[in-house]
A and B are shown apart, each in its own frame.
Chain A
Amino acid sequence: MIGPGSGSLTAAVAYHLARRAHWRGLEIAFWAITLLTIFLLPGKHLILTEIAILGLFALSLDLLIGYAGVLSLGHAAYFGFGAYAAGLFAKHGIIGEPFFALLAAGLATAALGFATSFLVLRGSDLTRLMVTLGVSLVLREIANRYDGLTGGADGLQGITVAPLFGRFAFDISGHVAYVYSLAVLFILFLVARRIIYSPFGLSLRAVKGNPLRAAAIGIGVNWRLVWIYTIAAAYAGIAGALLTQTAQFCSLDVLSFDRSADLLVVLILGGTGYLYGGLIGAILFKLAQDWIAGITPQYWQFWIGLTLVVIVLVGSERMAGLLGPIRKLVQKA
């Protein structure tokens, strides 16, 4: 059967395997608009920084849920660990320069993610939910208990973050913080994109789809999951470290269950498995929070709760139907 057609078939195979990795118009537009916010919305840089950090955190969870099919109810464990790591680095002058401190916090969190992945990846979905939740609760109590190191319930006080690269001091209106957070988000997005569209990324989708078959074609399922869990932990840790550095403060709140739960809401709003879900979800979540809190400060959670109930009742299928065309545009345009 290897006839004259197989040359073009080889080309087609190479093209279509790589096709997902091609940049689409909407993606470029998304990042162009994001870049423009630096210049066009200087008064909104504080909330935009929060959005960028939440987006990065959500991207981290999307790598787990959307690509590897690993559910987590305690992803704040890694966010919080990175946040405290960055806080301690700055407070004790261990690593003064923020960018290197950020990398170090990411590496430290990756190590934690690697170590805990072996606990988490045992068992089924429900087991994983409980173990991830457990890990985050344990970490929060450790932070609470060792208040000599972490400041306990009072939070980690007295953090002064040195100027970025020794040149750009963090200003009160958050311009440097926003550009910094956005740059980190964009770089890590590019790295995630690269990983997702690699053979490794493809194998994650196989593991998510059918672990039995994945093993039957020679994929070492457990190790693939260990690595993506480690990478996701590093991303979450860097997001947490960004929060500490830009807010110059860190409290137990970074490890709270609410933070893990909010993150799931973000991903429900934005969708999973197409890389932009976490970012779009973060924008929707923060804007809704800001908007509703402006109208009824006390009842903001009521409205988020109601929205969630509606989304679930309308059904994720139908939501997917609603968002499907948009997603197709993002993927194919």
Chain B
Amino acid sequence: MPFALETVGATVHFGGIYAVNEVSLRVEKGARHALIGPNGAGKTTLINLLTGVLQPSAGKILLEGNDITGLAPHRRVGLGLTRTFQINQLFGDLTPLETIGLAVSERMGSGGDWWRVAGSRPSVDKQIVEILERFHLADVMLERTATLPYGKQRLLEIAVAIACRPQVLLLDEPAAGVPEDERHEILASVAALPKDVTVLFIEHDMDLVFSFADRISVMVNGALFTEGTPDEVANDARVKAVYLGEDVVDE
């Protein structure tokens, strides 16, 4: 069985700086795969590579065994590869209702309909309702997104990605900056995803990583440093030295 997502020698360099250096990452279907590493290790760059925002200088990207290296970002979404952003990327002038509506109608193939009033397709509306309820966004669905509290925006950030009904979901620090008491809402939404949905996530909160992940990859200086089960990584002396050690020094 092919891996849900795989990179083969993926490399990105900006001039002489190698942000991602020959990374061969394999994510199994249905995995809860964490990608950790110190700041500047190239984790977000790798996500940008996987989603097509950046083109690799060398190497390949495979989704379910199919080469998607040259595919435009929106085509990858159509194939089931969706992401969230480390810093919210939302439509400030639109409402959560419209934002989720866009994602749902795009997925259902009616996002380009130009001779039909928005909201006039019951099958789309039904799915929008489902997402709004699942993420507790119904009560703010008519507010301008830019005016929502940060926690709600973060929730919307994830809701939009899930509205695309991904097979592989890439989460870039999903809980970053979210107050403690709103965190569980975001985590619960991710935990509630069907088991066959593959999740690859970047996270700095180690409690979260170890409670959620069944596989962990460690990136350092643009390269894959090591990979293993949470236990293996937790007990790896080199990881402690290189990653956790640096982290301690940082703080």
On whether the two chains bind one another, the answer is: yes
State the A residues within 8 Å of B (CB): 1-2, 6, 9-10, 13-18, 20-21, 194-195, 197-203, 205-206, 209-210, 212-221, 224, 227
Cβ-defined partner of A13 (8 Å) among B72, B125, B134, B161: B125
User: Would you give the shortest CB distance from A194 to chain B, in whole angstroms?
Assistant: 6
B119 adjacent to A14 (CB under 8 Å): yes
A220 to B71, CA, bound (A): 12
Assuming A14-B122, A18-B119, A202-B98, what are 8 further A-B pairs, CB within 8 angstroms?
Answer: A1-B136, A13-B119, A194-B115, A197-B117, A198-B117, A209-B92, A210-B91, A220-B75
CB–CB B111/A205 < 8 A: no
**Interface CB pairs A-B, < 8 A, 25:** A9-B132, A10-B122, A13-B97, A14-B120, A16-B119, A18-B119, A194-B114, A198-B114, A198-B115, A201-B114, A202-B98, A203-B102, A203-B112, A205-B94, A206-B99, A206-B102, A210-B90, A212-B85, A213-B91, A216-B161, A217-B106, A218-B103, A218-B106, A220-B72, A220-B75
B61 located at the interface, meaning its Cβ lies under 8 Å from any Cβ of chain A in the complex: no
> In the complex, what residue of chain B is closest to A8 when comparing beta carbons?
B129
**Contact across chains for B110 and A199 when beta carbons are under 8 A apart:** yes
A6, A14, A218: the one within 8 Å of B133 (CB): A6
- Give the residue among B91, B98, B136 with the most A Cβ atoms within 10 A: B91
- B128 CB–A CB distance under 8 Å: yes
Name, among B51, B113, B114, the residue most crowded by chain A CB atoms within 10 Å (CB to CB): B114
Q: Mark B161-192, 1 if CB is under 8 A from A, else 0.
A: 10110000000000000000000000000000
Instruction: Report B's interface with A, CB cutoff 8 A.
Output: 51, 53, 72-75, 77-78, 82-83, 85, 89-95, 97-99, 101-103, 105-107, 110-120, 122, 125-126, 128-130, 132-134, 136, 138, 141-142, 160-161, 163-164
A-B pairs with beta carbons under 8 A, tally = 154
The CA of A6 and the CA of B122, in the complex, are separated in Å by: 13
Q: How far is the CA of A268 from the CA of B98 in the complex (A)?
A: 27
> With a CB–CB cut-off of 8 A, which chain A residues contact B161?
216-217
A22 to chain B, nearest CB (A): 9
Least CB distance, A215 to chain B, in whole angstroms: 4
Report, nearest first, the 7 A-B pairs whose CB atoms are least far apart. Answer: A17-B119, A218-B77, A200-B114, A18-B119, A209-B91, A213-B89, A218-B106
| Smallest CB separation, B98 vs chain A (Å) | 6
Tell me the nearest residue of chain B to A10, going by C-beta.
B129
B13 to chain A, nearest CB (A): 22
Q: Contact: B130 with A199, CB < 8 Å?
A: no
A153–chain B nearest beta-carbon distance, Å: 41
Q: Report Cα–Cα, A272/B35, bound state, in Å.
A: 44
A215 contacts B74, CB within 8 Å?
Answer: yes
Q: B110 contacts A217, CB within 8 Å?
A: no
CA distance A296 to B77 in the complex (A): 60
CB proximity of B174 to chain A, nearest CB, Å: 15
Tell me the complex Cα distance, A10–B115, Å. Answer: 22
**Chain A residue, CB-CB nearest to B73:** A215
A218-B111, A218-B164, A219-B102 known; A13 and B128 CB under 8 Å?
A: yes
In Å, the complex CA distance between A206 and B104 comes to 14
B159 to A: closest C-beta gap in Å:
11
- The answer for the CA separation of A18 and B102 in the assembled complex, in Å, is 13
- State whether A217 touches B164 (Cβ < 8 A): yes
Which residues from chain B contact A217 at a C-beta distance below 8 Å?
77, 82, 102-103, 106, 160-161, 163-164
